[in-house]
Structure 1
Amino acid sequence: MNWKRMKRAWMLCACAMFLGLSMGTCKVQAKGVDDYGALKVSGTHLVSRRTNENVVLRGVSTHGINWDVGYPYISKKAFQTLRDDYSVNAVRLAMYTTEYYGYCDKGSASESQSQVQKTLQVRIDTGVKAATDLGMYVIIDWHVLNDQNPNKYKKQAKAFFKDMSEKYAKQDNVLYEICNEPNGGTSWSDITKYAKEIIPVIRKNDPDAIIIVGTPTWSQDVDVAAEKPLDYDNVLYTLHFYSATHKDSYRAKLKKALDKGLPVIVSEFGVSPASGDGTIDTKEAKKWLDYLDENEISYFAWSLSNKAESASLLKSSTKKTSGWSKSDLSPAGKWIFSQYALRSGNVKPSNSKPAKVKSVKLTRGSKKIKVRFSKVSNATGYQVVYSTSKKYSKAKKKLIYKNTTTLTGLKKGKTYYVKVRAFYKKARMKVYGSYSATKKIKVK
């Protein structure tokens, strides 16, 4: 009998009863390793090998574990705060390869390069153990940045990932990110060359591990990678965005990659400009998270740090390294964690069912239908149901998080019937409102 799972199930039941009897809010941990076990990539999704359900990791990335703005937060207490209080089910350990105390180039650090490497490996081991003890997933991130082209330190990367994959081969919760943000003119061909040497090193020790590969232009060009993906299973391709800088045109890149069947993960995002500092843009960030959730793509917020920049999740005045209250969080941290709680089903927006969806409008296209409707207050998302039968036999369902979507891959000349209903999440259970009136339209 799995005591952790029994305990979590009891908590869910207790919370559900509590929510039904009061108007309060109950904390519920986001699902983690105890629920999903080992992961695999299937189509464009990250999937549980145990339950075969799609998995969305809502994670947090450390700042550089090389520095005092990053490594103090590598602890079981810190990760437990993220898990229990802020609905986080995964962490990313960002280890810079260059700059001060870099794994491959220590810069002006007084220690020898080998001593720097030993220290960083201890910090990774500490982080992996903490995440494992807490039933959280963890990414080991080879944080290429100023070195631009991952081939520059390929020899060191091969040795590093050999050691890491030997050490963690039997663990279900460890993912490997082999090059954070290739840049400076590094091409997809350059990255492919590098990946084809690193992936076999990991696969030799950990044949089924999830491996994350960076893409050109600071991991923004997933559309380029989609034109010629790597010939390996269980590989994810990373997209990074900062919402105050990266907007519609970057989501268009993601859509193009998904349309070509590329499995994508957002291993780093922020609500600030791309520099990491400046005015945050939560309106644009919500568009991003809505799109990611609609497509069941995992995402990790930058960064668990009190560094004096707007991307940090903690205030610069926060001295605590765990046990943070909301008053310890930065504006970015407050917004991101409130979104995680809502999207993980840990906030009860209302004690009643969502209102009925109204004003559904259909626009036909070539083998597609655009669906629009009025927003429902307090709704977490919507379920669109469509079929060529007015009785909805063999109907298809689509889960979305905004009040518009496009149904694609439809049969030319067929009449489709469409209805929509809103839902909110209550202790991880979806509470649905009534369906809208059925609308029908003939596809071109």
Structure 2
Amino acid sequence: MGMLRWLRWGVACVACIAFLVGCASTESKTPVERHGALRVEGTFLLNEQGKKIQLRGISSHGLQWYGRYANKAVLQWLRDDWHIDVWRAALYLTEGGYIQNRALKQRVIDSIEAARDLGLYVVVDWHVLREGTPQAYKKDALEFFTEIAATYGHLPNLIYEICNEPNGKDVTWSGVIKPYAEEVIARIRQYDPDNLIIVGTPTWSQDVDVAAEDPITGWSNIMYTLHFYAGSHGKELRDKAERALAKGLPIFVTEWGTTLASGHEGPFIKESEEWLSFLKRHSISWINWSLNNKGEDSGLLVYNADREGKGTWKEEDLSPSGKFIRKILRKRP
């Protein structure tokens, strides 16, 4: 009888050790090693094994202003200390952005190559904002995404965000945004048949319910953008998201903030937690806005912290929003 107990204890110990080794092995893997190539099924993002996943990460601010953070050292710190899965490189078009300064493309390339080396997913964000309509620089978008897809489309970690926040009363989904998206998607798919493509929606990427009435067809692995700021947007916007999900529209929150939509005031912790619970419940991936040190409340760093872009931030380098987001990211969903 005693021998039987010892045998059972030994089997239990071996099983326990195997479990712990397995956990350690999983934790030591990078996000891309864990999940591989992504695909969309219904409203869910799936990994290579067909498991539902929720990516969580950080967005740059405009690369023309804060491109110094788009480097391997910072992304490695965000991966290892903050536990991000995904980095978003925000390529503004105007306000000193890509249309005026083509050299900014190198900041996107730096982001892609650092993410590849570090095993992070990377969102290439064509940051439509002040110009309102994505049609304004469609020719440039087609050329840009052709080059990115042709050069990097073979990587499993590349994600395309083809129009950040379309806006304006005449910038409709069916008349303006969808036709633009169809052209850009067709161009990307010539070189990259599989990687995730995320499409902006009307009214600063809030009208996902409108896109759900007339979704893009003919291609797989397409998702739609929802943006919110916890101090400005609440139940009404979540209700729009619920309606879109009910119609089968897959959503990816490529930008959200803990503040008002202006980037000021807050952080609104309770409201942010409400949103995070909603996103977790629906397995919706999210990216927080943004990594900058200009002193705005939605920025992750305090004013003038890390002016060189080195990472390795101390607690005193982080804004209240930065401390909150780091804490959330370090908890596995």
Map of 1:47 onto structure 2: 46
Q: Distance in 2 between matches of 1:257 and 1:337?
A: 29
User: Which of residues 198, 219, 233 is equivalent to 1:246?
Assistant: 233
Q: Distance in 2 between matches of 1:93 and 1:284?
A: 26
Q: Distance in 2 between matches of 1:213 and 1:13?
A: 36
Q: Distance in 2 between matches of 1:209 and 1:88?
A: 19
Q: What is the aligned-residue RMSD (CA, Å)?
A: 1.6
Q: Aligned ranges for residues 68-79 of structure 1 at < 5 Å?
A: 70-79=66-75
Poorly superposed stretches of 4+, deviation over 6 Å: none
Map of 1:300 onto structure 2: 287
Q: 1:35 to 1:254 in 2, by over 3 A?
A: same
Map of 1:442 onto structure 2: none
SS of residue paired to 2:63: coil
**How many residue pairs were aligned?**
309
Q: 1:340 Cα deviation (Å)?
A: 1.4
Once the two structures are aligned, what percentage of the paired residues are identical? 44
Q: Distance in 2 between matches of 1:329 and 1:162?
A: 37
- Structure that is richer in helix per residue: 2
- Structure that is richer in strand per residue: 1
Deviations along 1:131-166, one digit per CA (max 9) or x if unpaired, are 111100000000000010000111111001100100
Map of 2:173 onto structure 1: 188
Map of 2:34 onto structure 1: 35
Map of 2:302 onto structure 1: 315
Q: TM-score, normalised by structure 1?
A: 0.68
Q: 1:11 Cα deviation (Å)?
A: 8.9
Map of 1:84 onto structure 2: 80
Q: Distance in 1 between matches of 2:295 and 2:22?
A: 37
Q: Distance in 2 between matches of 1:133 and 1:208?
A: 20
SS of residue paired to 1:153: helix
Answer yes or no: is 1:171 the counterpart of 2:166: no
Q: 1:176 to 1:13 in 2, by over 3 A?
A: closer
Gaps of 5+ in 1: 1-8, 16-27, 107-115, 346-444
Map of 1:103 onto structure 2: 98
Q: Distance in 1 between matches of 2:210 and 2:246?
A: 13
Q: TM-score, normalised by structure 2?
A: 0.90
Ranked by relative contact order (alpha carbons within 8 Å, sequence separation 6 or more), the top structure is 2
Gaps of 5+ in 2: 1-19
Q: Distance in 1 between matches of 2:193 and 2:234?
A: 37
Q: Distance in 2 between matches of 1:216 and 1:29?
A: 40
Q: Distance in 2 between matches of 1:326 and 1:11?
A: 32
Q: Aligned ranges for residues 165-314 of structure 1 at < 5 Å?
A: 165-185=149-169, 186-189=171-174, 190-231=176-217, 232-314=219-301
Map of 1:425 onto structure 2: none
Answer yes or no: is 1:56 the counterpart of 2:54: yes
Q: Distance in 2 between matches of 1:141 and 1:258?
A: 23
Deviations along 1:310-350, one digit per CA (max 9) or x if unpaired, are 010111131252111222111001111111122x16xxxxx
What letter matches 1:258 in structure 2? L
Q: Distance in 1 between matches of 2:213 and 2:24?
A: 47
Contact preservation (8 Å) 2:295, 2:301: no
Q: Distance in 1 between matches of 2:142 and 2:258?
A: 33
Q: 1:279 Cα deviation (Å)?
A: 2.5
Map of 1:385 onto structure 2: none
What letter matches 2:150 in structure 1? E
Answer yes or no: is 1:94 the counterpart of 2:90: yes
Q: Distance in 2 between matches of 1:226 and 1:326?
A: 42
